[in-house]
Amino acid sequence: MSRIHEALKKAEQEKAAQLPMAERSAAAQVVDEVVVPAISPNRLAQETVRRTPTYFEGSGSTLRFEDLVARCTHPEWKADSALRVSLAGDSGKIVGERFRTLRSRLYQIAGTRTLRRVLVTSTMPAEGKTFVATNLVRSIIRQADRRVLLIDADLRAPRLHTALGAPSTLGLSDYLRGEADEYAIVQNSVANNLCFIPCGTTVSNPSELLLSDRMKVLLDTVTPAFDWVILDSPPSLPVHDASSLADLCDGVLFVVRAGETSHEDAKKASSEFREKNLLGVVLNQVEKSEAQGGYYYGHSEKK
């Protein structure tokens, strides 16, 4: 059995032994287990990625990153504290270290192959994909020279704008419908190296929009301006959106929730991404006693 399946099995085991919610500590919302491809010592990259150009080409024009920031919107963000990591106290240090480790693993992979666009998904709703995407980005931008674009591609039940305390419109759906350009939908606040594209106006045809040529055009336009483009997608079992978006990304992080995610459901959902650069599985919502534990590392074997 692969390491990924071990992590998924552990999620089911947690369910049988889970504690009442009141007994969960703040560390219970922490990423604990991370499964990523093993990399031989002689191929390990330093915690850095190749510096990207400060411009991108889109719609026949060339635009510097600084010009994008100058022309995009700059709303005031008021982050939801429930969806961000607190680094206070011992638990906070453990939490922060989990996300720094996840960040480091992604950097290592990026040192061996192209890895700029990362899709974050899960099996079902409420497993923590938005929590993971938000705090992974916060970990990356702690390094001042890293430019990150966070995209809320969950047009059905968006939450990233709540996590950041940002406006939800104009956003991705407005661009995909041809009603706004990239300048109108990109937000920049708090840190100059973090940009955000919210979900946009509620639509009745999210799958059709995400499958449209404009989605690929947008990603091809903005990606070269950033070190990382992180997309939060809908859960993969109820709808096909995540699978479609995975075709446009370099890698997929799959989030499962300890004590909640069915092993069989998670196994079924993650198997769809085996041929779409599945990077690994992140086990979320572990018990306090488990937060001190180690990580699972291993190849994403196709078993």
Flag whether pLDDT at 51 surpasses 70. no
Give dist(CA 106, CA 49) in Å, integer. 10
In the predicted model, what is the mean pLDDT of residues 37-60? 41
Flag whether pLDDT at 13 surpasses 80. no
Give the pLDDT score at 8: 59
Give the pLDDT score at 295: 35
Question: Which CATH superfamily includes the segment(s) 3-290?
Answer: P-loop containing nucleotide triphosphate hydrolases (3.40.50.300)
Query: H helices of the chain, where?
Result: 3-16, 65-71, 89-110, 129-140, 160-164, 172-176, 182-185, 206-210, 213-222, 241-246, 263-271
For residue 278, give the 3-state DSSP assignment: strand
Amino acid letter, 85:
V
In the predicted model, what is the mean pLDDT of residues 210-219? 94
What's the pLDDT tens digit per position in 248-280?
Answer: 999 999 998 887 778 888 888 878 887 778 998
Beta carbons of 218 and 57 less than 8 angstroms apart:
no
Question: Where in the chain are the domains?
Answer: 3-290
- HSE-CB at 192 with a 13 A cutoff on CA atoms is 9
What's the pLDDT tens digit per position in 119-144?
Answer: 999 988 888 899 999 999 999 998 88
Flag whether pLDDT at 113 surpasses 60. yes
Question: Which carries the bigger pLDDT value, residue 297 or residue 86?
Answer: 86
Provide the 10 A C-beta neighbour count for residue 152.
27
Give the pLDDT score at 16: 56
Buried (b) or exposed (e) across 246-264, using 16+ Cβ within 10 A? bebbbbbbbbbbbbbbbbe
Give dist(CA 206, CA 208) in Å, integer. 6
Give dist(CA 236, CA 270) in Å, integer. 8
Flag whether pLDDT at 298 surpasses 70. no
Give the pLDDT score at 208: 95
Give the pLDDT score at 179: 96
Give dist(CA 33, CA 83) in Å, integer. 19
Two tokens, residue 74:
């700059």
- Give percent above pLDDT 90 in the chain: 45
Range with the largest mean pLDDT of 7-21, 90-104, 199-213: 199-213
Two tokens, residue 260:
């909640």
Flag whether pLDDT at 60 surpasses 50. no
Nearest to 285 by CA among 101, 93, 14: 14
Give the pLDDT score at 257: 86
Q: Which residues pair with 194 in a beta bridge?
A: 148
In the predicted model, what is the mean pLDDT of residues 26-46? 42
Question: Which carries the bigger pLDDT value, residue 234 or residue 53?
Answer: 234
- Number of residues that this document lists for the chain: 303
pTM over 0.85: no
